[in-house]
Structures are given as C-alpha cells and as structure tokens.
C-alpha cells in the first residue's frame, strides 16, 4: 500500500503512554511520528488527573480557611471566605496549559514529528490521518497504540445539559448548590468531596454496599466519617434509573435499597461509573488483534498479536492509571531501540485523593493469603505520629505493612490519612527492591515526618513497637516464629 511518508516508529495517541513512548524513542535515535487529535498530554493531563488535583487542592484550602473563620484550633482568625470558582478554573487551566506545552517542548527536543489529526489504522503498517490540511498516509516499521480510555456513559444518563462527565465537572464556572453523583468509586469520591468542601450539598448514589468498593473497608472508614462531617448524603445499594432535566437542573430517579423510589434533584448530575478502553474510532476493525475482554491483549513486552504493533496504557487493561501507561511507553521505546526490557513491575501504586487520602501498594493481607503466603501484618495508627498531629490534629488513619512471616519480605503497604499520598514512593521502592521488615526497621526516617509511621508499622509486624505499648507476649512470639 502506498503512503505519503515513512517513519521508524508511529505512535497513535499523546496521553501519558503515547507521549512517553515517543519522547523516549526520539531520545534513543529512532525516527518517530506522533499523531494526536486533541491536546498533548491526553486525559490525565488535560481532563483528569492534573486538573482534578488542582480543584481538590483549591477545595482543601477553601475548607481550611472556612474552618478557621469559625473554630480555629490554631488561634488564627479570619473573615468569612468566598470563592470565585471561575478564577479557580482559570488557575487550573493555566496549570494544564503549562504542562501540555511542556510535553510539546520535550517532544520537539527529542526530534519527534507531531501531527495534529485523527489517526485511523489502515493496516498493520499504515495509518491515515485526517487533518485540516488533508489526509496523508504514513507507513511505519513499528506502531505503538496508545488511544487511552473514555468515561462510561449510561444509556439512560447520556452526557449533556445538566448531566456531567468528570471532564464537564472540572469545567464548571460556579459551584453547584446541590450535586448528585452517580457512582462512589475513586473519581466520584474525589470530585464529590471537593465540591462538598467548596460548599455544595453532595448526594452519592452507589449500587454497591459501600463506597470505594475496590478498596478494603478498613481503609474507607475514615473517608465515610469525613463525608458525614461534610454533610454529604450517601445512598448505598441504590440504582439510578432515569433522569429528567429542567430549567433548574435535573431530577434523578433512584431505586433505594428498600425498594422505594425517590427523585433526587440537583443543579447537576455527575456520572462517574468508571472508564472504558477506547478500542473504537481508530481503525481496530482493520487489524487482527487478540483481545482480553474489552482490552487489547499484550505480553510482558507490550506486544500485541500482530508483529510490529505494540499497545500501552488504558487500552491494555487494569489498572487504568497514567503512571502504568508511562512506564509501559518507556519499556516499548527501549525494546524498539534494541534494549532487553520487560514490563513486570513488582507493584503499581494506587492513590485516592479523598479526605483522608488512601494509598495502596502491593498485596493486602487477604490478597497475600489468597496467593499462598503466610502473612503477618503491622498496623500503626497515625494518631501516634507527631507530624500527623501537627498537620491538622487528625486522629484517623493508619499505616499497614503486610509481609511474609518466614522471610520478612514486604508484600504490601496500605495507608489512609491526611497528606499521605507522597508516602507511596517509599512503599513502591520497598516492594520493587524486595525489601524485608528488617530493611524497613533499619531505615532512619526524619523526625518529625509521616514516613516514620512506615517504620513503626514494620516494627509492629515484628512485635516490637517503639511508640506503642508492646503487644502481649503470645502475640510477639507468634510474630517472631
């Protein structure tokens, strides 16, 4: 098949997986072309991770100031605060512009050719690109598919008007008086908590029997308590059935756990029931790719079933996280440059930016047991950590370390608490380097810091806590055996 141009590597999609692959390919001397119809950075940078964290931070600051105005434990007195959410949005958009522009600069510096347009795979080596200037075809020695994912849209709750996707919610100019959130997974909880702090009355509708159903109940209990303190309403075992929009917003019809029906009216209804891989709209039907359920099947080198075609990011399976995509993209680039690489991480961290934050790295106790390990657990309450108390006085939260009893090999770390997201780096490093409990307890953490709690949790697993009373002798003997 004829083409207008040829390149060594063709990357479809400029999200975290695609742009990372393209940058690394260029750095390694491979002639690389990247095709993207939207802004550089993909969903995470332009419509998801980054803008949502900016809004969450603004909401946290506003809630703190509002709290100081009425009941400051720090002795700080301020007037009644207000928020101009249009200015908040402009600040958020400025961060996105800066980072997206930075990605463009990195691609240019790496010598990557960027084409703005919609890519359609014609065959395993050729892509047609719909651009404003025409529809050129480019052939390639190797193709990296990184089309990403899209929000799941319910048939009876189509996005539009007062029914919002997560992207729509981040582009509001005003804080809604009442926000109804369908789905209490991490996206719904993060955004719902932020708007509750900004002054919205938030109502969650969740089909499951608890919020954040993908996380164990111990980790979510402090989040449930904070939602109650913020005045949010949560309907569990509840099912949304239809919506009626009007001039004042929308009314969501919901079947509650007892079988009764209720209409929940809000300025907006935010639908956050998950994301799905974007496997349509770029010519998959013209390829012969093996699938793994809704995902493109790949091996440990991110190779698909077609020679010379690789896939990275959300389209390749769970967890659908930006940092996983970035790591995959780097691996593929180095493979194409002749390096020996595989994508076999010891652990991929997950962080939920609720209040308090949740960090999960590696296996929980139940997961370790199910995998055949004889697991021991150390749990240290953040109420006994000086830095935690000096941050906001919170007495909720803990650090939990899971290890193999016989060897002390660290199998997992779970954390819930205020400002604990950054601790994921310590946990990931420990698992990737096959650290043992002795490695953790032999590490000197700065005092006062939240990091001390990881060491303390490891000491607890060994039955020799320093800043908590010793457990009964029988428990210590069991841990040591």
Q: Does the structure show a pLDDT above 70 at 156?
A: yes
pLDDT of residue 392: 73
Q: Which residues contact 479 (CB under 8 A, 6 or more apart)?
A: 376, 405, 461, 462, 463
Q: Kindly report, residue by residue over 284-316, the tens digit of the pLDDT.
A: 999 999 999 999 999 999 999 999 999 999 999
d(CA 46, CA 25): 23
Q: What is the pLDDT of residue 478?
A: 52
* Contact in structure between 13 and 313 (CB atoms under 8 Å): yes
Residue tagged 């020996």 (tokens) = 340
Q: pTM of this prediction?
A: 0.92
* Percentage with pLDDT > 70 across the chain: 97
Q: If pLDDT is split at 50, 70 and 90, which confidence band does 144 have?
A: very high
Domains (range + CATH), the chain = 5-48+89-150+276-336 (3.50.50.60), 163-273 (3.50.50.60), 350-480 (3.30.390.30)
pLDDT band at 9 (very low <50, low <70, confident <90, very high): very high
Give residue-wise pLDDT tens across range 185-224.
999 999 999 999 999 999 999 999 999 999 999 999 999 9
In the block, which residue shows the tokens 């690394």? 24
- Hey, which residues does 459 pair with through a beta bridge? none
Q: Name the band, by pLDDT with cuts 50, 70 and 90, for residue 470.
A: confident
Question: Average per-residue pLDDT in the chain?
Answer: 94
The greatest distance separating any two alpha carbons of the chain, rounded to the nearest whole angstrom, comes to: 77
pLDDT at 1: 42
Position 17 confidence tier, pLDDT thresholds 50, 70, 90: very high
Is it the case that residue 29 has pLDDT exceeding 90? yes
Please compute the mean of the pLDDT values over residues 162-178 and round it to a whole number. 95
Rounded CA-CA distance 278/64 in Å is 39
| 265 catalytically annotated | no
Share of the chain above pLDDT 90, in %: 88
Two structure tokens written together for 190: 């993060």
Please compute the mean of the pLDDT values over residues 63-76 and round it to a whole number. Answer: 80
pLDDT at residue 129, rounded to an integer: 94
d(CA 373, CA 383): 30
Reading the block at residue 251, the tokens are 């009314």
Who wins on pLDDT, 157 or 475? 157
**What's the burial of 88, exposed, middle or buried (CB within 10 Å: 0-12/13-18/19+)?**
buried
Catalytic residue among 6, 265, 447, 467: 447
Burial of 180 from C-beta contacts in 10 A (0-12 / 13-18 / 19+): buried
Most confident of 1-15, 133-147, 289-303, 390-404: 289-303
pLDDT digits (tens, 9 = 90+) for 331-362: 999 999 999 999 999 999 999 999 999 999 99
* pLDDT at residue 393, as a whole number: 66
258-292 in b/e burial notation, b at 16+ Cβ within 10 A? eeeeeebbbbbbbbbbebbbbbeebbbeebebeee
Q: How confident is the model at residue 476 (pLDDT cuts 50, 70, 90)?
A: low
Q: Is the pLDDT of residue 281 over 90?
A: yes
Q: Which two tokens stand for residue 129?
A: 């690109």
For residues 233 and 206, the answer to whether their CB atoms sit within 8 Å is: no
- Per-residue confidence (pLDDT) for residue 3, from 0 to 100: 64
The rounded distance, in Å, linking the Cα atoms of 334 and 27 is: 10
In 10 A of CB 406, how many CB atoms?
Answer: 10
**Of 132 and 168, the one with more pLDDT:** 168
**Two structure tokens written together for 17:** 């997986």
């Amino acid at each position: 098949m004829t083409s207008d141009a040829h390149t060594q590597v063709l990357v479809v999609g400029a999200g975290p997986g695609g742009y990372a692959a393209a940058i690394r390919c260029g750095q390694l001397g491979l002639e690389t072309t990247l095709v993207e119809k939207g802004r550089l950075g993909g969903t995470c940078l332009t419509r998801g991770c980054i803008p949502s964290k900016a809004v969450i931070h603004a909401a946290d600051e506003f809630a703190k100031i509002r709290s100081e105005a009425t009941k400051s434990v720090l002795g700080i007195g301020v007037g009644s605060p207000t928020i101009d959410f249009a200015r908040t949005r402009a600040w958020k958009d400025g961060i996105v512009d800066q980072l997206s522009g930075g990605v463009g600069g990195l691609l240019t510096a790496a010598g990557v050719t960027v084409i703005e347009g919609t890519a359609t795979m014609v065959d395993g080596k050729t892509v047609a690109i719909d651009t404003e200037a025409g529809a050129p075809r480019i052939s390639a020695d190797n193709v990296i598919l990184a089309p990403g994912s899209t929000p799941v849209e319910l048939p009876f709750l189509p996005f539009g008007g007062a029914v919002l996707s997560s992207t729509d919610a981040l582009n509001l100019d005003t804080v809604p008086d009442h926000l109804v959130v369908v789905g209490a997974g991490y996206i719904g909880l993060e955004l719902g908590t932020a708007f509750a702090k900004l002054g919205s009355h938030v109502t969650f509708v969740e089909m499951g029997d608890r919020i954040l159903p993908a996380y164990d109940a111990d980790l979510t209990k402090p989040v449930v308590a904070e939602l109650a303190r913020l005045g949010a309403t949560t309907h569990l075992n509840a099912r949304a059935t239809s919506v009626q929009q009007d001039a004042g917003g929308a009314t969501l019809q919901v079947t509650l756990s007892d079988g009764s029906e209720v209409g929940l009216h809000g300025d907006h209804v935010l639908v956050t029931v998950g994301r799905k891989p974007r496997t349509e709209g770029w010519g998959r039907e013209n390829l012969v790719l093996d699938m793994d359920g809704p995902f493109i099947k790949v091996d440990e080198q991110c190779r698909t079933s077609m020679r010379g075609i690789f896939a990275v990011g959300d389209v390749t399976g769970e967890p659908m996280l930006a940092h996983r995509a970035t790591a995959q993209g780097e691996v593929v680039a180095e493979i194409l440059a002749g390096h020996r690489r595989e994508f076999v991480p010891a652990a991929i961290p997950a962080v939920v930016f609720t209040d308090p934050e949740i960090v999960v790295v590696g296996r929980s106790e139940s997961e370790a047991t199910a995998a055949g390990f004889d697991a021991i657990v150390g749990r240290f309450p953040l109420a006994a950590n000086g830095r935690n108390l000096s941050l906001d006085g919170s007495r909720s939260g803990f650090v939990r370390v899971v290890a193999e009893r016989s060897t002390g090999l660290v199998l997992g770390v779970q954390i819930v608490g205020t400002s604990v997201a950054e601790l994921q780096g310590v946990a990931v490093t420990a698992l990737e380097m096959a650290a043992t409990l002795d490695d953790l307890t032999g590490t000197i953490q700065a005092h006062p810091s939240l990091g001390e709690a990881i060491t303390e949790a490891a000491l607890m697993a060994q039955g020799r806590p320093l800043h908590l009373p010793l457990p009964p002798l029988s428990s210590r003997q069991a841990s040591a055996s």
